[in-house]
Structure 1
Amino acid sequence: MSGPEYVGSGDPLDAAGQMSFARFGACGSRIATQPDISLPLRLTASLPTAPLRATDNPPFIKIDMSVQNLSGSAVQVLTARYGARMAITKDGIVVAGPVGARPAGSRYTIDPGVAHEYESTVNLVGCDSDSGLAPGHYQLHALQRFTFLDKDWNLGPAILVAGGPWDVEID
């Protein structure tokens, strides 16, 4: 795998006008990034069928996600141990941003066509308050950085993989 880091499009942008991983999901920002179908990896989420409860304590949930290798060969990647950066939007504007730090730490091999399953944490506390989001319809977005590793586990190029938007209901 070679080439520049994929950075997507949309707000919040860095000084070069590209999507910033660190700024993804900032409260009040707009998320316009759609998944890039030209990338060798794709994120998917398995959302609960019942509405999410923003009044639960703690005010976050874990959801099942997966990253699928769409390339024709096995890939070795390094990524955040605690999953993707997750943000909830209403009418395209972030109303609940990511929680906590995403330290690097998980590395694994994904065979061609195979999906690696993991969990990500979704924050249900609204940007404008210290309480859960109001009941309603929202969209969930994800962004995760994957650094490719060579056969000796040396660092290679990194890509940002966007997921969503997925419709979610808050109860």
Structure 2
Amino acid sequence: MVQRFRVTRATVERWVDDGRLPCERDHRGRRRFRQADVDAFRWLARSTRNLDRVRSERKKRQEAVRQVRLEAPELGASDAARFLGYASPISVWRLANAGKLPFTLNERGRRRFARAELERFKARNGAPKRGRPNAVCGESVSVGAGLSEAATPSLARCLQPKRARVGADL
């Protein structure tokens, strides 16, 4: 099978585990494939419509697994980030390091966040704020409107004209 499809052994095992390629085991536990199953699988693998169907089914299974994981009493950092609405687990790690989000360590030393604590945090703080809070470039704000350039260095940088690159033909 590995030589016929020009894939690794792990890929064939994954196809079998996913149920895409049926096989039987012999008395020594080795996988045995029927020629009809291999031919049918080869036809499925060549058909793009079937590949799209297989991919969509895989995505549905993955989403179902994610939903089950989000219902668990304890969540990992990635699932906690998804539950709270953050784009990355790094945000959850920062909250945990700052002491704003309690966690426990599992037997492998990974952070686990209690679902009840995450729900309390979400109720208390609401949805996460998107974007950079101190970014003011692109807004039409005049410096003379009560803002000094020394008080707002990022605003002063935004108001400066863009310099031409050295050696660039404009």
TM exceeding 0.5:
no
| Higher helix content, 1 or 2 | 2
What's the TM-score once normalised by structure 1's chain length?
A: 0.18
| Higher strand content, 1 or 2 | 1
Q: Which has the higher contact order (CA 8 A, sep 6+)?
A: 1
Larger Rg: 2
What's the TM-score once normalised by structure 2's chain length?
A: 0.18
